[in-house]
Amino acid sequence: MRKVYFASFLLILTALNSCKKNDLKGMNGIFNKNKYDYVQASAPGIIPETSGSIALFTKTYDASSRLQSIYSRFRNVATGIQYSFNLNVSYQPGQMIFTRDNGDTTAVLNFSPNGRLTSAKAATPFYLDWSYRRDYNFIYAGNVLREIQISGEVHSVDAGQWIPYIQLAYDKGNKNITRLTAGGIYRSSDKSWIDYRYDASRKARAQVYPDDMFGDYHMFYFFLKYLNVLPELQPENLLTSSSFGGEGISYPASFERQYSNHQLDASGKLVSYTQHSAFPTNQERTENWQIDWTCFK
């Protein structure tokens, strides 16, 4: 009889200490359906003038495990940290709404009933006035995100049209993004891209590498990566290297990166790694990144 009681106690203890999905009825399943979320990414030296660790983003959650706020910094490869601000989150059926502390709207994300991000509106540039907002459309194929489109500038030849904003290519199993292509301000603009390479022998249960920066025009894409609303952006295998390239003049800067010293916690989540960047100007930078996670109880 004691064995039965002990086994029952272990089952109850496991249930109390395990993570559960934050799939909330009142949200129609939107945001993410993960058992956990990366709550902060930080590293020393990402702002050269500081000596301590600086967070690229930090999230808070309400009592129902919904995202409540996110403090974001955006990093341009050429110039370092450009902008930082806090956004508060509210919810309507099928929507997440982001507002600044003064109440101004910055972004609205629209989700399908099954939780897939389908469209969005955001101030453009992302940190400025809502009156300059742009529309975004999300294209899926093979059950993964293939392209994010942006509405053309009002006073341009692209007005009234969808133009490529972000395009994603995957490996054969659609498990890892192999190339991220970023469109320019106009359809005719030069494109830039980042190629990714992975360790086929090592996997993580969950991971994020948040610091792949283009210029400020693409900050909205990286905001979506901070939020963790696009599960395709989390690779299955450990990232080992990446390289930046582009048509014409590469903006903001070309670079090669190596990723090493991956550390996983007991459940297989990436909690730290080393990122070494080399630039054509013979400049090099090494950063030790830490990823903090929260478990939804």
pLDDT at 49: 62
> Which of 14-18, 154-158, 205-209, 272-276 has the least mean pLDDT?
14-18
Residue 112, pLDDT > 70, answer yes
Q: Which helix (H) or strand (E) holds 117?
A: strand 117-123
pLDDT at 11: 45
Domain boundaries, the chain: 22-295
Task: Give tens-digit pLDDT for 39-96.
Answer: 999 998 776 666 678 899 999 999 888 999 999 988 776 566 777 889 999 999 999 9
Where in 154-254 does DSSP place strands (E)? 162-170, 177-182, 192-203, 237-246
Question: Bigger pLDDT: 29 or 99?
Answer: 99
Residue 211, pLDDT > 60, answer yes
Question: Bigger pLDDT: 88 or 156?
Answer: 88
**What value does the mean pLDDT take over residues 145-163?**
86
Residue 272's nearest CA partner among 216, 192, 187, 207 is 207
Its pTM stands at 0.86
Residue 133, pLDDT > 50, answer yes
Cβ atoms 179, 201 nearer than 8 A: no
pLDDT at 18: 53
Cβ atoms 41, 57 nearer than 8 A: yes
Tokens 């919810």 identify what position?
A: 91
Residue 181's nearest CA partner among 269, 190, 276, 172 is 190
Q: How far is the C-alpha of 227 from the C-alpha of 193, rounded, in Å?
A: 22
pLDDT at 80: 67
Question: Bigger pLDDT: 217 or 269?
Answer: 269
pLDDT at 247: 81
Number of H helices, E strands in the chain: 2, 16
Q: Which helix (H) or strand (E) holds 4?
A: helix 2-17
Average pLDDT of the chain is 84
Sign of CA dihedral 215, 251, 255, 52: negative
Q: How far is the C-alpha of 169 from the C-alpha of 152, rounded, in Å?
A: 23
| 150: β partners | 136, 163
**What value does the mean pLDDT take over residues 156-180?**
92
CATH number for the domain running over 22-295: 2.40.160.190
List the Cα angle 179/185/188 in 5-degree steps: 80
**Lookup: tokens for 281:** 């100007």
Tokens 């995957």 identify what position?
A: 170
Residue 143, pLDDT > 50, answer yes
Residue 6, pLDDT > 70, answer no
pLDDT at 132: 80
